[in-house]
Structure formats: structure tokens, C-alpha cells
Chain A
């Protein structure tokens, strides 16, 4: 499961599923991810990753954007970001669009 996901992720475009959306928590100003009857409390990095996962960018482009924002080589970010997306995929919150698949 995890190997197959990570393999596909290399070329696919990750997308936050339609049922989930980002929201700013009005109590503390922090980002949160809301989906049916569930909440994921995010930090700024989590929010930055998920904002890029809109189905238009291939995973290497997501990494490149993050690398630019955080002034860190994409290769150093790859493991952490992949693990993060795998975790959300297991919760059915991230899906992968293959090359050629309509967003």
C-alpha cells in the first residue's frame, strides 16, 4: 500500500479530495482541514503543502514550490512531504491524478 502510493506519487498530481477543505480557525488563527465529521489541525507547513495539492501540479512541482518557499533543496523535503501525503491518503483525504487524467 505505502510503496504503491509512493511509487505513483512520483509522477502523479496530488489533490485534496473534494469533501475536504482548508479553513482558518477563528479562535487561534491556525489552519485546519475540515472534512465530513472530522478535523485535522495543521501547522503552517501542512497548510502550505495542502494549498499546493490542488490537482494541477505534479508532485515534483509541489516539491519545487515548497523548496522555493522554504529555501531548502527539494530532495531534502521529499521524504517528509511524501510521508505527510501518505498519511492523509490513508485517511482518504488525498487522491492522486495520473498523467493525462482530467482534474
Chain B
């Protein structure tokens, strides 16, 4: 969520609410941000509970409702939830795989007040895209994207970038133009959740990233005023961390399918945090007072080198989940930062991944649905894609 300030606004005020309506999804993308742990689907919030959450979010100042998942279209009550957010004056965004977006469904959603649709694409070519999605999805996504534009809804195309698709960035940009997208999100994989499990197979080479940076920058210039191109940098290759969520508990709330409220959708991996649930507490109490939202809010929690750093309110110390995954301690400086004591170790581990032998990176762990046990899948990638993964890389 981008934000631009021109006046006084509360220091901690949520602008966006990510409503993860369900973890069920027809796709199996190996970089999914949903929890790796199996979650029961029986605990999903009801329509009435979600409507209460939406109204409470609006009272808190939330301006954007982001309906996501899993696949939010799997919830039959999505039109009612869109209508509820629309009545509150919120801008309503649907973040979808596109699967299940029939003409009548899309028309109903638009009539209920849906204002924009974001569709994920795995690649520009059917074979590779379907392999990455773990299901034949690409053709249906193309149809859904065309339908969105036919209904005059603004379209965002989202592509998660990694080693296997990064060399076709120009083609993916061309696809977004061809589909008449108003916005294109080119997002390097964030190595959290499923992506962390698969980082050996997903992490691009530095040479790939440098080329992609140039391609994205050229597209931003060329398309300025026509299509907004957002390029999310690969932070493993940066020396400053990303301003994760624009600060913990500052501008953003995520509510998961069971009603747990988190400062970001992946924060549940941090073991010593207890996330309050909307079934037990009002959203305002959770936002303002609950311990989990207080834990990394502001700058008082920060260790050195963050505590005395001039950038501490620019990057907020980076990503708490990443700090936990890489160091075992969520309160350390994000190891991506060159000033972090853990930075050298991260660099070494990236170099080690780059040197990995092909047989070590062939197996991708595909995201499984909540009711299934995760399993390992080998050789899911089509020949051209496997070739990419097998290519021996020089150390960075």
C-alpha cells in the first residue's frame, strides 16, 4: 500500500486491511505467503463476523479493504463483504488468482461496489505458468483479466519474480500492456513462508537481478502516465532493508481466515507473539493496545545498530519475520542491512545457494491446501524452466 502524506495524520493509523478470507486456493505456488503449517478450514470467520471486522476497521480509519486469501472467490459471501466495505466508503480491492471469476460473478461483485481487481500471473507462457501454479491456470487467468477490463474495472497484474521467470521480464511487461493493465506489480520473491522453504530453487543470481533492475526501470520510464509499474526490489541483494509494512502496527492490519489479527500476514511465524482474535476482542483494542501490535511498534524496541541509526524511521529496522527466519530472533536488525552483525552470514549463505549443484535445487515444495499435508514434488517445472534451475551459477 503506497501512501503519500500532505497533512497531520495519526502516527499509528491503519490505512489498509488485508482480509485473508480463506487459505483455500486452487493454486500451489511455491512462494505463497500463507503459513507453511497446515491450518484447519473449519475455523474460518462467518459472514457476520467479517462484516463486523470491516465496520470496525472503517471506524479505525482503514481506507482500503484488500480481499485476499488463499483464493477469496472461494467464499460464496464475497459480494456481501464487498458491499459492506463499499457502504463504509472504503476502496475495495480483490486480490485473486482469477480462477472462479466468471462473468456473472464479476458483474455481481462490480454491482456490489468492487473497485479494482489484482490478478496474479506466474509467467508469460502457459507451460511455465501452469508448472509454477501447479495447475492449468494460465488460460483462465488471461480470460479473467480480459473480463475485468471488459467490465471497465481497473486491473493490476502481479508477478512474483524468481530465478525461473526473471529472464522473461520484458515478456511479462508486454503481457500486462497487452491485457490493458492499469498497474503492474513486479515483486521479487520475499523469502518468507513457502518461499523460504524453496529459496534454493527460487533465489535468482545477482546477474539476473541486475538485468531485471534495468528492464524494470526502463519500463517505469516508458510507461509513466500510462501504467503504474511497481518494482519490489529483491532485498537479499540489497544492503539496506525494506521498510516492511511501513512499520510494525503503523499503517496496516491483516486478519487471517480464523480471525487472528496480525501486523503483517506472515507474522504468525514469530513464536513468542500471541495474536488476539476478533472473536474475543474489538479491532480497536487489538490495534491500539494488544501486546503483539505494541511489540515492534515505534523505535523503543530496536537494538543497535538500529537504535542510533538515522534511518530508523525510514526502514523501521526492516522485516521482523526475516530477522526471525535468518537469526532465530525477531528483535534483531534485519540481516539484509549491511550494518547488521548477521549480514555477513546472510551473504555467505546466499553465495552457498548460488554454488548449489543442480540436483540440490530441483525439488520445489509446492504450496498445499489447508486440509492437505505438504508434500515434496520433484520435476514440476517444464523442460525450459528446469534448464534454468539446473544452470550452474558462478558464485556471487
Interface positions of A (Cβ within 8 A of B): 1, 5, 17-19, 21, 23-28, 30, 32, 34-43, 46, 89-92, 95
Contacts and interface: CB of A to CB of B under 8 A. Distances in A.
A43 B7 contact: yes
A34 B7 CA distance: 16
B253 interface: no
B6 A40 contact: yes
Contacts of A28: 9
Nearest to B4: A40
B11 interface: no
Interface residues of B, number: 36
B15 A39 contact: yes
Given A19-B182, A23-B63, A92-B224, A46 B16 contact: no
A27 B13 contact: yes
A43 B6 contact: yes
Interface stretch (B32-40, B225-233, B237-245, B321-329): B225-233
13 contacts: A21-B91, A26-B58, A27-B13, A37-B93, A37-B118, A37-B183, A39-B1, A39-B3, A39-B4, A41-B7, A90-B225, A91-B228, A92-B227
Those 5 A-B pairs whose CB atoms lie nearest each other, nearest first:
A19-B154, A36-B116, A34-B91, A27-B61, A38-B2
Given A28-B9, A37-B1, A37-B93, A92 B182 contact: yes
Given A23-B89, A34-B91, A37-B66, A92 B6 contact: no
A36 B154 contact: yes
Given A27-B13, A92-B224, A92-B226, A36 B118 contact: yes
B182 A36 contact: yes
Given A28-B9, A30-B7, A39 B64 contact: yes
Contact of A92 (B60, B61, B225): B225
B6 A95 contact: no
B5 interface: yes
B128 interface: no
Contacts of B183: 19, 36-37, 92
Interface string B1-37: 1111111011001011000000000000000000000
A40 to B, nearest CB: 5
B18 to A, nearest CB: 10
B108 interface: no
A95 B225 contact: yes
Interface in B40-63: 58-61, 63
Given A89-B225, A92-B228, A37 B182 contact: no
Contacts of B224: 1, 90, 92
A43 B6 CA distance: 7
A34 B2 CA distance: 10
A45 to B, nearest CB: 10
Contacts of B182: 17, 19, 36, 92
Contacts of A41: 3-7, 9
Most buried by A among B5, B7, B61, B64: B7
Nearest to B228: A92
Nearest to B8: A28
